[in-house]
Amino acid sequence: MTTIAEVLSRMDEIVEECRTSESRIGYFAILYRQVTRRIAQGIANKEFEDNSRMELLDVLFAKRFIDAYELWYVKKPTTKSWLVAFEASESKNHLVLQHLFLGINAHINLDLGIATSETMKGQELAGIQKDFNKINDILSELVDGVKGNISAVSPIFGWLMPLAKGKDEMLLNFSIQLARDGAWKYAGEYHLDPNKEFQIQDRDKNIAGLAQKLISPGKFLSLLIKIIGFAEWKSVSRTMDQLDELGTMD
């Protein structure tokens, strides 16, 4: 896989596989395909400082999710961060938003820093920071759009979540901005450390820990999640189709 067109082709296949098998990892796959389409559009419109470099970053970045998905699909070991997300996708007990955040957590907090460093191999990392921020702005916009319209698939989400306001919970306070800042810091550490394998394993362990907090919140929030989940759509394929519509809204 060397082009963004090839990435989009594989993402189409993954989305269809998830829709057919009713796999909840499809929620993240839908969102990430939207991100990739938007980046492809940005490259075509020359929105980035270095558009050919952005295509390389996008391919390396996407490949980490695609590789993890394919390893899990054939029951081979993958990173702990992705494993938590994949295993959670087999459960009916988590909200759509939890599944989305689990994917984002693994992909931004672990994968993005690695892909960014690999894109700038042999170069100063600072040269890509503006385009790094741009890719995160795109993701943030799409996530905000889905969160703002989540009531389409989760009718009582908007009514009940304000009850948990002020709770110090990972799920409530998950921030693309904070994830981005952490990913940039990690990219710098990974870029300078000759022991790349240690960097990945250490970071992966920490990010998998954050993932556990996303799926195992406190007692009060767990109760709210049960109530909200009771009213959420049960059909995975129908929910995926709706999320795809939400992501294309103006």
Distances from the Cα of 74 to the Cαs of 47, 78, 84, 154, in angstroms? Answer: 38, 11, 16, 32
249 vs 142: CA distance, rounded Å: 10
Task: Determine the residue type at 188.
Answer: G
pLDDT surpasses 60 at 247: no
Instruction: Place 249 in a pLDDT band, splitting at 50, 70 and 90.
Output: very low
Q: Where in the chain are the domains?
A: 4-247
pLDDT surpasses 90 at 12: yes
pTM, to two decimals: 0.91
Rounded to the nearest integer, the mean pLDDT of the chain is 90
pLDDT value of residue 53: 96
3-state DSSP helix/strand/coil percent for the chain, to nearest 5? 80, 0, 20
pLDDT value of residue 183: 93
Cβ partners under 8 Å of residue 211, min gap 6: 81, 84, 85, 88, 102, 105, 106
Nearest CA to 14 among 60, 72, 54, 58? 72
- Of 24-33, 63-72, 142-151, 199-208, the least confident: 142-151
113 vs 184: CA distance, rounded Å: 6
pLDDT in tens, 61-111: 999 999 999 999 999 999 999 999 999 999 999 999 999 999 999 999 999
Contact 114, 202 (CB under 8 A): no
Contact 119, 187 (CB under 8 A): no
pLDDT in tens, 149-166: 788 888 888 777 777 666
pLDDT value of residue 123: 95
- Of 19-23, 150-154, 235-239, the least confident: 150-154
> What percentage of the chain has pLDDT greater than the value 90?
68
Average pLDDT over every residue of 30-55: 94
Which is more confidently placed, 242 or 68? 68
pLDDT value of residue 159: 79
